[in-house]
Amino acid sequence: MNLYRSLFIRLLFISLLMIVLLTCKTSTVSEKVSETDVSFIEHQSYFELIFKPLVSIRLDNEIYYIQNYAIYIPKGFLKWRQLNNTVFLEYNNGQMIILTAGFTNQKREAAFHLDDINSKEFYDNIDCFDYIDFEDSTLLPPLDNRITNVYYDGKNTIILYNIRKEEKSKLNFLIKSFKELD
């Protein structure tokens, strides 16, 4: 059952990225950056990332709006990139936080639940990394002493990729801070 759920999450992640292949932005942050869809507000010990996409998706006669959200993220990221409804944040030593917004008409569960996944399998099966090539850096393959976790609430996905074990406890606030916006 857990294998099917993990496979479902991977397929959902890949599908969302492929469906909405519309825009892509890259930047670094000093104090405050505001782009059309993503903005960062600096606080004393973290950034607040606000995601308000300006695009919608039309399939047949239905229009799907990407969910707006806000989340606290740790300072110290080197670069970020937006690919449709997904924001990639690159940190030192190959660590990444990947945030994928669902659609407003999807049902959200009460809280995020954690799926531990095999980092190597995840890296080998996610083609989207080809689309997020940061100009002067490369995505590191998973390292043995690292963790990759997927948090999913039935609608939105938070992936902590290649995270050092000692950094993992510092990221608990990230999951708890996620809030959907109108």
Query: CB under 8 Å to 165, separation ≥6 — which residues?
Result: 145, 146, 147
Residues of the chain with pLDDT > 90: what percent? 24
Residues 33 and 73: their CA atoms lie apart, in Å, by: 14
- At 10 the pLDDT is 55
Q: Answer with the residue of higher pLDDT: 2 or 50.
A: 50
Structure-token pair, residue 43: 């606080």
**pLDDT for the residue numbered 109:** 82
Q: What is the pLDDT of residue 9?
A: 57
Mean pLDDT of the residues in the chain: 76
Residues 82-95, mean pLDDT to the nearest whole number: 87
pLDDT, residue 179, reads 94
- 1-9 mean pLDDT: 55
Distances (CA, A) of 118 to 88, 141, 154, 165: 19, 12, 21, 15
* Domains of the chain by residue range: 2-181
pLDDT in tens, 121-144: 666 665 555 555 555 455 666 777
Q: Is the pLDDT of residue 45 over 50?
A: yes
pTM, full prediction: 0.75
